[in-house]
Structure 1
Amino acid sequence: MWGLKHKSYNCERCGKDFVSRAALRYHFQAKHLWKVYAETCSKDLVPESSSHHAKNHHEMTQMGNLRSCWTRRKTKFGAMEVSTSCRMCSRQFGTVHARENHEKQEHHFTTSKRGNISILNMMKSSHYQLFFPAYKTPTGVKYFMEAELQPIRGPARLACASEVEGMIASIKEVFPLPITYITKGGSYIKGTDIQEWSDVDIVIFSNAFKDLEDCQKKVTEILEELGRRLMKSSWTNRLIFQKRTSFSLRVYFKCYKDHHGHLLDVMLCYDILWFAVSSGLKESFYHQLYLCSDNDKIQLYTMALLKYQVEFVKASTQRLKDLIRLIKHWFKTSFAKSTKENRFRRLPSSYAVELITIYVWELAGKPIFFSFVQGMRAVLKLLVQYQDICIVWHKHYKPNFAIFQKVFLKQTRPFILDPVNPTFNVCENSNAWDEVAYVARKSLLKPLFNGMQAKEPWLFTNNW
């Protein structure tokens, strides 16, 4: 009898599990049928009261030109459905609910099982044990930030910068084509790197190509030639070549006295935005990107936007960058490693983490001085209700821009529109937001946050 496996039937509206389909049907008819689901507070409302409820309880927060819609919008539950893929196999689904049903039926991967995998790995992590139980006060977290996360300063940092620039100069020297200019990105350039981890992105633009299609055809061959030349250069003993993608050459670069290193991605692109250097981004570029259906070509288009993505994050204050480091550390140490069981799981990207943290800081009024613990608590509380996230900035495209309006109307949750690319929701590549919410909820119960009350300027989190 112990070996028998039974199916569980999960309510997509409230998450409760039932032993039979009939029980689930009775529950849904009794509790949810003909009711409107208010995303922001997870309540079912009768249609007559839904508009009144939204007006009184879901006021929109406005910060300068920041457009936030997640605190006011009400919708039926199906509006949050999103194209996604299974975390255990490569099968694609049209909605997150279809994906989760497949995971339960085919892989027996229930919510509780998924949660246990994350929490067990989280509790076994030495970094996690070091961070949450040991540092229970804001002062302790500040010490942890300065001692463990902030990059080493002084002469060592200057030597590191010199080494990185020397590596880039060597790449320019052996590059097979004439170079128009180079754009640098990654956490090291943005100033969000941590002591034990740093990445540098380099996009080399060249007008040696006839057009974007010509670049697309030749990029693989040119990057392979660059790899061969680097292996023959004076830096060869300090480079560890990683798995190469279609559009990038990836190497691990041993830096200053081999004390640490940088993951270096070298990419190549045709200079698509040459016409917009002096006048900013052109709407015609966004139109071309929106209409493009070739995934490889889309990657080349987005490379041209790296400079503006870097500028958006790099403009953050130093204390905000430290908060970003804390959130990245939490992501790195709080989730299960990839295994055969969850090998297709994709957690949010580093860029998405940076944007969420910046958004929460802006909601707080862009404070110069603030508590790291209060800031981290605010980010975790937002992640718990990921289905309500809707974040847009209008620095590079206006609210009346046709492409933005089309993408905005088709939005799926969570929705974080790239500040420099109105065609790309940075959340859409992740299929594990429910897992992120689960781990964030458990983290908020740890001594560091448990019982903590919001203080100025974080009082808005009381509504979350």
Structure 2
Amino acid sequence: MGNYPLYRKPAQELDTFIQEYLRPSEDSQKQIDKAVDTICAVLQEARVTSVAKGGSYGRKTVLRGNSDGTLVIFISGFGQFKDQKKSQHEILNGIWYKLETCQVRRRLAVTVETQRPNGGLTIKLSTESQNIIFEVLPAFDILGSSEKPSSWVYRELKRSLDMTKASPGEFSVCFTKLQQDFFNNRPRKLKDLILLVKYWHQQCQNKLGDPSLLPSYALELLTVYAWEQGCGAEDFDIGEGIRTVLQLIMQYKHLCVYWTVNYNFQDETVRNIILGQIRSPRPVILDPTDPTNNVSKDKDKVCWEPLNQEAQAWLNYFSQNGPPGPFWNVLPAPLFETPGHLLDKFIKDFLQPNKIFLDQLHKAVNTICTFLKENCFRHSTIKVHKIVQGGSAGKGTALKTGSDADLVVFPSSIKSFTSQVAERTSVINEIRHQLEACQQEKNFEVKFEISKRTAPRVLSFSLKSEDLNESVDFDVLPAFNVLGQLEFGFKPSPAVYTELISLYKSPSPLRGEFSTCFTELQRNFVLSRPTKLKDLIRLVKYWYKQCERKLKIKGSLPPKYALELLTIYAWEQGSRAEDFDTAIGFRTVLELVTRYQQLCIFWTVNYSFEHEIIRNFLLTQIQKPRPVILDPAEPTGDVGGGDRWCWHLLAKEASEWLFSLCFKDGAGNFVRPWNVPAASQIPIIWGARMPPTVNEMFSFRSRGLLE
């Protein structure tokens, strides 16, 4: 494999470098696999229930040259964790004798060497290009045939650790099968990235002359975390991946990494174990199979600090001729463990887009909009009335990365709601043609990429910073200019909504088709809010994205817009102050999410109960199954959706988050949420008849309002 300095390897050649120099050769791998299977068969002839393969070998992250593995033998006579601390020497003697007398070496195509360091047992398997040293470890089979451990397993683990005064993580070998499973379903390319990180780590060890810098398992887990949080794709840029991991190493003093795939916060004992670990001094990287095992524990920072310096040197080398290149936006610690009084700093440091990028974005959008207005349909009588920017970027609630925006184009050829559907494809085709011309003719400070995906309803492009790890994805949408030239504070004519309602109730309804026509109203509704409220919206959206990533059911969760509106409602009902405690606002929103089955929220800033047709429609809407959250821009849009989306999953996550440090103040006390009702108050319209069900639903509030 040689000792080629990794920082001299061009990023575009890393994939080839991994394949040619870091992956074990296929022949060596096959020979060692066959040898391991033979040895495991011999071991199972003793009083062994099963053998688990662990270490780099079991995780399939073996580096070419020298690597490690474990053969965990589950002893039938072990009935509890503490049994592991007995008879180790005797058991290993028996296994060593078995291996020596069965003449296993003669049956294998690899060189086999057994050793007894400090009373233990290792088996070294060697081919011409590969050496793997396996540590043989007797263990208690706590899992048996179970694929997923119960809370009882971890309660028993904690009890045994306390009773035997064993070190945290001492029994983690019992969970080797789970460690293997945790890595088995990962993409091949992620394991290639792990090999690259381990090779970099090996180079650091050679340079510093310290073979015990840090367990490679800690860096493997950190690499998985970086990929999960920042990418998640099976195919990705290896250069971005390695830069992300090195960026995280440079932030080791803030690292707090854990998973809840095998254990979680539901059981009180397990919850206390996890909270005790993740609130201990950083860095913290918890073994995803054993919550007592902090694999990054480094009391005096003697392991992490040299790696930090090497990571800086590697990234600085690439910065000599400009920025080192893009990397994934991954935080060193989860939001869950950020104390409430530090949430404003968290938002500023990690969620707010960079001002330079925002300026570049603003210039690029203006250039694109001007170009489209001047060039679209220029050889016809069709004109573009206006282009409106919506979405997160338009409302001022964009996150640092992965935010969305809409550019809604209002051409004169779309003269009604229904013609929007008929004309959409031809308008999209014209816009694509002009966007491609704009891309060629204009210079941009950001990277301008048009999506190659063709869809009749929408055209997409992205704007990415060349220097910063920030981007915004845009959808270009044609729409009917039903609002005309809108002035701020303008309230649309009721006729706009009566026509929309009529279409909504028609035999072949086009529901949700025309919300783009009201983009300006949606944008203005949020844009006019205080800066701190928009920051709270950012925080809630970031929380939502964490839930989305964890639950892996993107299409089934309620839309982000519902959470934006819920956040505004919480602030309106609970505070209305321009400056407020972010922790209190955040807690209030999550409390409302847990009460999703009671939510009935609407506004009357653009439409109201005064017009009979609109009133009757609104009363129908608010009698639908909860949650109901009506779009303040147009009443046909219910982003609460009743049982259309999986609010119960989001509510479950919100309930778990109520234990978070986010909701503790500087003194360590939990903050109290604002007192916010789950339903909006319905105004009293004198002379208007209300259906009995509505009277019953809102009678209490109506009496309160009258008083």
Give the TM-score normalised by the residue count of structure 1: 0.65
- TM-superposition CA deviations, 1:10-66 (whole Å, max 9, x none): xxxxxxxxxxxxxxxxxxxxxxxxxxxxxxxxxxxxxxxxxxxxxxxxxxxxxxxxx
Structure 2 vs 1, CA of residues 230 and 431 (structure 1 numbering), >3 Å: closer, same or farther? same
Q: How far apart are residue 338 of structure 1 and its match?
A: 7.2
Which of residues 500, 506, 523 in structure 2 aligns to 1:289? 500
Aligned: 1:196 with 2:404: no
Unmatched tracts of structure 2, length 5 or more: 1-144, 147-259, 266-285, 289-328, 442-446, 680-707
- TM-superposition CA deviations, 1:240-299 (whole Å, max 9, x none): 306444332111223465753221111112323349879731212211211214878555
Q: How far apart are residue 312 of structure 1 and its match?
A: 0.5
Q: Work out the CA distance in 2 between the residues paired with 1:405 and 1:116.
A: 48
The residue that corresponds to 1:146 in the other structure is 348
Q: How far apart are residue 447 of structure 1 and its match?
A: 3.3
Cα RMSD of the aligned pairs, angstroms, is 3.6
Amino acid of the structure 1 residue aligned with 2:471: G
Amino acid of the structure 1 residue aligned with 2:648: D
The residue that corresponds to 1:15 in the other structure is none
What is the correspondence of 1:221-260 to structure 2 with a 5 Å cutoff?
221-235=426-440, 238-241=448-451, 243-255=453-465, 257=467, 259-260=469-470
Which of residues 368, 391, 397 in structure 2 aligns to 1:167? 368
Q: Does the 8 A contact of 1:151 with 1:194 survive in 2?
A: yes
Q: Work out the CA distance in 1 between the residues paired with 2:516 and 2:264.
A: 36
Q: Secondary structure at the match of 1:143?
A: helix
- Higher mean alpha-carbon deviation, 216-225 vs 375-384, is at 216-225
- TM-superposition CA deviations, 1:86-137 (whole Å, max 9, x none): xxxxxxxxxxxxxxxxxxxxxxxxxxxxx979979xx98x968723454224
Aligned: 1:411 with 2:624: yes
Which of residues 119, 130, 135 in structure 1 aligns to 2:333? 130
Aligned: 1:360 with 2:563: no
Structure 2 vs 1, CA of residues 259 and 127 (structure 1 numbering), >3 Å: closer, same or farther? closer
Across the two proteins, how many residue pairs are aligned to each other?
343
The residue that corresponds to 2:646 in the other structure is 432
Amino acid of the structure 1 residue aligned with 2:497: Y
Larger Cα Rg: Structure 1 or Structure 2?
Answer: 2
Aligned: 1:369 with 2:579: yes
What is the correspondence of 1:48-447 to structure 2 with a 5 Å cutoff?
130-132=333-335, 134-138=337-341, 140-153=342-355, 155-176=356-377, 177-209=382-414, 211-235=416-440, 238-241=448-451, 243-255=453-465, 257=467, 259-274=469-484, 280-292=491-503, 293=506, 297-336=510-549, 342=553, 345-402=555-612, 403-409=614-620, 410-428=623-641, 430-447=644-661
Structure 2 vs 1, CA of residues 275 and 312 (structure 1 numbering), >3 Å: closer, same or farther? closer
Q: Work out the CA distance in 2 between the residues paired with 1:146 and 1:223.
A: 37
Give the TM-score normalised by the residue count of structure 2: 0.44
Higher relative contact order (CA 8 A, sep 6+): 1
Q: Does the 8 A contact of 1:254 with 1:261 survive in 2?
A: yes
- TM-superposition CA deviations, 1:181-205 (whole Å, max 9, x none): 2222111111101111332211111
Q: Secondary structure at the match of 2:439?
A: coil
Unmatched tracts of structure 1, length 5 or more: 4-114
Q: How far apart are residue 452 of structure 1 and its match?
A: 4.5
Structure 2 vs 1, CA of residues 127 and 136 (structure 1 numbering), >3 Å: closer, same or farther? farther
Q: Secondary structure at the match of 1:271?
A: coil
Q: Does the 8 A contact of 1:118 with 1:335 survive in 2?
A: no
Structure 2 vs 1, CA of residues 142 and 390 (structure 1 numbering), >3 Å: closer, same or farther? same
Structure 2 vs 1, CA of residues 261 and 118 (structure 1 numbering), >3 Å: closer, same or farther? farther
Q: How far apart are residue 398 of structure 1 and its match?
A: 2.0
Q: How far apart are residue 384 of structure 1 and its match?
A: 0.7
Amino acid of the structure 2 residue aligned with 1:423: T
